[in-house]
Structure 1
């Protein structure tokens, strides 16, 4: 085969080289111009998150909370001694006059209705005297606290201003899947509204330790301090979660953030509209996790569901014929794997409806219909603040009932009197009593009501012998009178 060699004159070669150089300059410029073009169809819109952010960002607000605290500054080092503190506390002669100081906190929130209803985290506005919100367009408004729910770490505010306000819609049901792309919008470190992007890393995380209902969305979208209460949205611009916590030793985002699912946020928001109080359904039964040993004993191929360990007479569980040793594997067709996921599925159901439990009983799967109703207050709570000098001075006590037990997260099998709150400056706090302690007896006398306990505190014995139940353990405390 013959090859032919072509020789190009030098002038032409230089011209070709100049043309190539100009082309190299022109092509990147054209590419940049192309990247800056406005999307013209649905396919091109998917190449950018900007349309989603423009739609959602006006509904995400900065939340400023402030509270006034009174402090007394120590003026004498001698009163650091525990001996003096025991007698004088922080009111003795070793302290200067009380001074007021304003503490503030910063977080984020999401507007969920045109009339200015905002949902945020409880810890962002906890104990706040005043709350203000700043919108994306820099307008600021005072906000009224409508509802606080510490158990879910959620709170509901109402903007004091004329609407309508831009708002974001909730995603429907459990539409989120692992691997879905999500955007986190909030105000990290107080620098201003920021958008971060990531994927859903996991669903139904239950070992986070932030709220009573351990059921979180995990994402690698950067979540930092100040993002709390902000929006986690999907690619349709719908609210799928409320950013709540980060998992980090340094305090900054390490790619592990957690959000409260939108279904729980909607449940709390609906409660705010229904009277400003969260009313949860009561099961009237206790459940436990299924270990590998229990699963083997039940003939299961793997641990799953929750095992019923006790059913209270007359409760919804009892009326539904739920039995001890029943294995609950699903609620309304949604799988449950541990008590946390079961609690979330059950607690987000509306009162007045019926929940359908999928139950394994003696090797067969049966369906149990449980009516959803509030825990009853079978005994009036008769709340009393004990102010007589005694080991209980400064304690607020209530009579126990299923309703009180549900509110304080106690086992409803107990009866008697429970400590509902404690003044940190009172004697009860100094002797080691705690909120949620159940008082069983004082000086060998059973405590059946708050009236009985108050009558005993008026006595002045030489010795106080207390029997209390704390975290299921009976404790005996002996104190001098």
Structure 2
């Protein structure tokens, strides 16, 4: 039991070295000089005995310089204050919950093929301990976390406690408590838990500031079940997108982080939590100096909602969006590759009701420029449902302002049509479009393809379409902003683009139930 919470706000400021780097270099040089003098004295001095190398005034000056030289400044004072707030998290999950619907073990809560999903697969579940043999009925795993209040609220990763039947935490002084999961948010991989049976826990403060690249960072956690482990490094990069979802905005650090560190804090030198360690890039399975942390600003926002309602509600406009590449920008006549391109508005969603259409580019929200699709997703998701927003939209080459009220982001992903499982026995060889390097057939002539567009029946691997990722079975819905239903429609749109001296033409393509825009060169045949 702790007598009182550790107040991290009174942490003494980080001590900077008393001497400059030049002084340190001078010290290194002087050490070499002393060594040289020592050799000289012993080589040429009297044989009666060794000579005190600091007996002369010159040598005494060297001794004073060594004593005054800056010594390495460690992190012991910071660690002493922050380490008690960090906990080890142990979970038990029934074996049946560790399978997906297909019966495969190690079902991952992350997007298939994403770095987070590969991280999960490599480490076999909630981060650490090996899975027990089949028949024992449970899976055990470990992660990390940290207290954010004296009454036992603590933060960890969603993937650490996801589907857990039992959660136990061990504090820095070795005491074990049962914890309850208050709420989780899979989209940011955060979870809020509440430790039962204690009070006056030492807790950490979430940083208000944004770290700078090059800042020191301390990672504290439970790697490989070794609780209370401290490692140090620097902030390597910011705003990293690791393919986990539209809200990716990770801080990259090079402090050694391993399996079991997930959910643990990354502290700055003020003793504040700058991020929550979530994933690593690791071809070998161990730390290679690339780890990713969720920024404190995101943690604050998510945790506040989890504590209040046990879930996170996000604003939603209901559009499929994609980045504006330079090719797409050229096709649309944009000077810069900025904004978020609307691939397809969802039926009856706020965007569709407000008049936003496929091919529109959202360039600003409430007057603030939108850099790319990820920034739009984070911006809209940061508003509460029901908020009125103003969007700047480029619609068919014209700027316009659209006002709408945000809906609530659905918690589940809508089912997608699985065109791969449809009977495609009706696919014909199709009609060739040489300038694109593909053949197409009307969708109405292909079983399971729907009633709109043309289906790609063959792709020349060396053609322009293949360069942009088009493949057999894709459905081309629009070319150059015009709906197409036949190969002739596609050719006419290509001819029009060349007549307008365009280098590329924009196609709207449906693949696997999702729509996207693809800029294809019109110069290649």
Q: TM-score, normalised by structure 2?
A: 0.56
Query: Are residues 29 and 246 of structure 1, via their aligned partners in 2, closer, same or farther at CA, if it must alter by over 3 Å?
Result: same
| 1:352–1:58 Cα change, 3 Å | farther
Query: 1:44 aligns to what?
Result: none
Q: Show the counterpart of 2:315.
A: 281
SS in structure 2 at match of 1:253: coil
Does residue 183 (structure 1) correspond to residue 218 (structure 2)? The answer is: yes
Aligned counterpart in structure 1 of residue 195 of structure 2, from 159, 175, 181: 159
Is 1:472 the counterpart of 2:519? The answer is no
Compute the displacement of 1:363 (Å).
Answer: 6.5
Deviations 1:37-77 (CA, angstroms, capped at 9, x unpaired): xxxxxxxxxx5533433333222211011234379xxxxxx
- Structure 2 unaligned regions, length at least 5: 1-44, 98-133, 418-447, 449-509, 515-525
Alignment check: 8 A CA contact 1:107 1:124 kept: yes
Match of 1:120 in 2: 156
Could you say which residue in structure 2 is the equivalent of 1:130?
166
- Selected match of 2:93 from 61, 67, 71: 67
Q: How many residues align?
A: 343
Superposed CA offset, 1:447-468 (max 9, x none): xxxxxxxxxxxxxxxxxxxxxx
Q: Deviations over 1:253-311 (max 9, x none)?
A: 11111112223322331222222122222212221221221111233344222112333
Q: Which residue of 2 aligns with 1:146?
A: 182
2:350 maps to 1:345: no
The corresponding residue for 2:144 is: 108
Please, which of 212, 221, 231 is the counterpart of residue 255 of structure 2? 221
Is residue 58 from structure 1 mapped to residue 92 from structure 2 by the alignment?
A: no
**Cα gap change, 1:138 to 1:295, in 2 (>3 Å):** same
Q: Structure 1 residues 16, 30: CA separation in 2 closer, same or farther (over 3 Å shift)? A: closer
* CA deviation vs aligned residue, 1:366-408 (integer Å, no higher than 9, x gap): 6655433325xxxxxxxxxxxxxxxxxxxxxxxxxxx4xx512
Matches within 5 A, 1:90-101: 99-101=135-137
RMSD of aligned Cα (Å):
4.0
Alpha-carbon distance between aligned partners in 2 of 1:372 and 1:340, rounded to the nearest angstrom: 17
Alpha-carbon contact 2:321-2:344 (below 8 Å) kept: yes
Partners of 1:249 and 1:139 lie apart in 2 by 35
- More relative contact order, 1 or 2 (CA 8 Å, 6+ apart): 2
Q: Distance in 1 between matches of 2:235 and 2:389?
A: 28
Distance 1:364 1:276, change over 3 A: same
Change (3 A) 1:161 1:23: farther
Residues 150 and 211, structure 1, Cα contact 8 Å, conserved in 2: no
- Secondary structure of residue in 1 paired with 2:299: helix
- Cα distance, 1:29 vs. partner? 9.1
- Residue of structure 2 in register with 1:203 after alignment: 238
**Match of 2:350?**
316
Inter-partner Cα distance in structure 1 for 2:335 and 2:511: 37
Partner secondary structure for residue 100 of structure 1 = coil
Q: How do 1:58-457 residues align onto structure 2 when only pairs under 5 Å count?
A: 58-69=84-95, 99-172=135-208, 175-206=210-241, 208-211=242-245, 213-312=247-346, 314-318=348-352, 322-331=356-365, 336-355=370-389, 357=391, 359-360=393-394, 369-374=403-408, 403=410, 407-408=412-413
Deviations 1:201-240 (A, max 9, x none): 222222x234563332212121111110011233333322
Deviation at 1:185, TM superposition (A): 1.7
SS in 2 for 1:346: helix
Contact residue 70 and residue 99 of structure 1 kept, 8 A: no
Query: For the Cα contact (< 8 Å) 1:152–1:212, is it kept in 2?
Result: no
Is contact 2:246–2:377 with CA below 8 Å preserved after alignment? Answer: no
Once residues 94 and 312 of structure 2 are traced to their aligned partners in structure 1, the CA distance between those partners, rounded to angstroms, is 27
**Alignment TM-score, normalising by the size of structure 1:** 0.61
Q: Deviations over 1:74-119 (max 9, x none)?
A: xxxxxxxxxxxxxxxxxxxxxxxx9434421111012222221111
Give the SS at the match of 1:268.
helix
Q: Secondary structure at the match of 2:260?
A: coil
Aligned position for 2:41: none
Query: Runs of 5+ in structure 1 lacking a partner?
Result: 1-8, 37-46, 72-97, 376-402, 415-443, 445-468, 474-481
Whether the aligned pair in 2 keeps the contact of 1:142 and 1:159 (CA below 8 Å) is: yes
Deviation at 1:132, TM superposition (A): 0.7
